[in-house]
Amino acid sequence: MCGIVGYIGKRDAAPILMEGLHRLEYRGYDSAGIAVARAGELRVAKCKGRVRDLEKILPDRFKGSPGIAHTRWATHGEPSDRNAHPHCDSANRIAVIHNGIIENATALRRRLAAEGIVFRSETDTEVLAHLIAKMPHDSLEGAVRAALQMVVGAYGLAVLDATRPNALVVARNGSPVVLGIGDREMFVASDPSALVRHTQSVVHLDDGEVAVLRADGFETSTLEGDPTAKTASTIAWTDDAFDKLDFDHFMRKEIAEQPDAARRTLSGRLEPRFQTAHLGGLALDARELLEVRRIKILGCGSACISATMGAHLIEQLARLPAHAEPASEFRYRNPVIEPDTLYIAVSQSGETFDTLAAVQEVKRKGGRVLGIVNVVGSTIARECGRGIYLHAGPEVSVVSTKTFTCTVMAFALLALHLGRIRDLSTAHGGRLLKALSELPVQIESILARDAEIAELARQLLACEHAYFIGRAAGYAVAMEGALKLKEVSYLHAEAYPASELKHGPLALITPQTPTIVVMPRDDLFTKNISTVEEIRARGGPILAITHAGDLPVSVEGRFDVPRSEPELDPILLNIPLQLLAYHVALQKGRDIDKPRNLAKSVTVE
């Protein structure tokens, strides 16, 4: 949510900043703006809408350096030109861009208004600009520190003073900030994707840190001013990874990348000698893992659904009680943290605020927590200190596809590892290793039948509601399918356990409400057939996601996926539902990579 990018160096800032904003569009936003310093003056342009709308109003000779730019996702104040960032002080000397929420903004605003400050926006961020301008400090760094001492809340921010253009000051508390190190130039962003074209060397700020950026380097310290030592890391992703190439949308590209992403997740982790998985990042030996009596998995959105699948896999293969729950609710119920419970935090970006807060709650109470994340060096990865990296590659589209698939595969590896430590036999271990190694090719075979899914999608265009059902792990597949469809096509979709249909949801079935049934040919297949019969008796259309073979009921459409082992079938059953959501959205003319009201990385509560 929101995006920050900044530059200081000898080049004109505007082209670099605008390119960075384009790179950050996937995070979700409703307005954009830019500010540069030139000859002691601040030049600002901002507007509601997309980055392309900002480009249209940008003057031809918008030159200057340093500069900062921002994409905003509205929290305080509606999306509008005046609420767009950057925000400035009364003298138009200080410019601030900010991700996060200032919780005591109302009290600070009243105090500043009583002192004669006239506000030009409804945002909490403008309060920061006025506070910084009022601080009696000789340096911009000192003024920012003094202002932040008065602030309560989350922030990732960058500050520019047009009269002191030799430095940018940035700070972090709960919202990601990454420094990019160039050749006698420095960059700052909320996400490494904005930096990869210019540098691969980055430094991640920690909460409570302030950094001063100059063209020839940077200094970091605590909010109180004590120096901190930072070590640069290298971004593994290349600039090409953030391009759509020949695809019309990032979502479609990332669906197509799943076979290779799956291979990377598996690479080096299949151990045929002992018919198990090798997961060195866990940093827990067999004795410690044997002491674990239950597992709780925390995530938000698709990460929470993948956690549900993961819990099912762990219970099946390791015979350990496992449970998934939304990280956003976890810490508010004052959870009991047990010493024999292993907690797992799941986040594609590694920056999801609610999940990070849950991790910190577990650690505060003495619990053990692992991370399953995609972004190396992200906050959750560093906070956990151990876990599994997905290595899925960057995911730009707001909706999660390849990282969801790779997360479930990571859970399969973890479940296999835990199972083999306990009582899963070598025969069963070997069976699963073989099935895991075959998944990338099986995913390719599904993707090759894209036209079949596009045809099925046509059957959903005229309806206003759709229902997804499944049993056991198939219910989690149904939840993810419904979430994808509603996220990207705006068609109302709900998922229910198939066994619950007769306990209420059956009242919703009509000839105008299609039901997508996830029905693998497992030991629950006949029960799924019975549920389909109940829907058919009420005239409900059926689309079946199943395996090859005769169906003893008539359906309006079906798609057969290749068979894997029963524990891994859900991974393959989910792929056609990703394509189904994509094609419904495409045929409805939606903005597929930027669904309304949503953001890729949710960094506020």
Q: Which residue of the set 2, 304, 384, 406 is catalytic?
A: 2
**What does 236-289 look like in DSSP terms, one character per residue?**
-S-GGGGS-TT-S-HHHHHHHTHHHHHHHHHTTTEETTTTEE--GGG---HHHH
Mean pLDDT of 323-345: 93
Residues 453 and 404 in one domain: no
Among candidate residues 189, 207, 239, the one where a domain is terminated: 239
Residues 150 and 271 in one domain: no
The pLDDT value given to residue 233: 86
479-483, 489-493, 600-604: the lowest-pLDDT one? 600-604
Residues 345 and 277 in one domain: yes
The pLDDT value given to residue 139: 92
In a domain, 44, yes or no: yes
In a domain, 604, yes or no: no
In a domain, 602, yes or no: no
Residues 320 and 192 in one domain: no
Q: Which residue of the set 253, 296, 594, 600 is catalytic?
A: 600
Among candidate residues 448, 464, 481, the one where a domain is terminated: 448
Residues 457 and 428 in one domain: no
The number of domains in the chain is 3
Segments forming the whole domain that contains residue 172: 3-239
Residues 38 and 130 in one domain: yes
**Does residue 600 have an active-site annotation?**
yes
CA atoms within 13 A on the CB side of 217: 3
The pLDDT value given to residue 508: 85
Indicate if the pLDDT at residue 507 is higher than 90: no
The pLDDT value given to residue 604: 56
Residues listed for the chain? 605
User: What is the residue-averaged pLDDT of the chain?
Assistant: 93
Q: How confident is the model at residue 486 (pLDDT cuts 50, 70, 90)?
A: very high
Residues 268 and 185 in one domain: no
Q: Which residue has the higher pLDDT, 503 or 221?
A: 221
CATH of the domain at 298: 3.40.50.10490
User: pLDDT per residue over 92-134, tens digit each?
Assistant: 999 999 998 899 999 999 999 999 999 999 999 999 999 999 9
In a domain, 596, yes or no: no
Residue 227 vs residues 208, 214, 366, 571: alpha-carbon distances, Å:
12, 16, 28, 47
Cα 435 from chain centroid (whole Å) = 28
In a domain, 605, yes or no: no
23-32, 139-148, 223-232, 378-387: the lowest-pLDDT one? 23-32
Indicate if the pLDDT at residue 605 is higher than 60: no
The pLDDT value given to residue 235: 81
Residues 500 and 511 in one domain: yes
Residues 22 and 95 in one domain: yes
Among candidate residues 404, 432, 448, the one where a domain is terminated: 448
Residue 131: in which H helix or E strand, if any? helix 125-134
Q: Which own/partner contact pairs does 114-123 have at CB distance under 8 Å and 24+ positions apart?
A: 117/90, 118/90, 120/82, 120/87, 121/77, 121/82, 121/83, 121/87, 122/76, 122/77, 122/78, 122/82, 122/83, 123/76, 123/77, 123/83, 123/85, 123/87
Mean pLDDT of 403-410: 98
Residues 510 and 574 in one domain: yes
User: pLDDT per residue over 157-169, tens digit each?
Assistant: 999 999 999 999 9
The rounded distance, in Å, linking the Cα atoms of 374 and 305 is: 16
In a domain, 577, yes or no: yes
Residues 109 and 56 in one domain: yes
User: pLDDT per residue over 36-84, tens digit each?
Assistant: 999 999 999 999 999 999 999 998 889 999 999 999 988 878 889 999 9
The pLDDT value given to residue 602: 64
In a domain, 598, yes or no: no
Residues 490 and 348 in one domain: no
In a domain, 597, yes or no: no
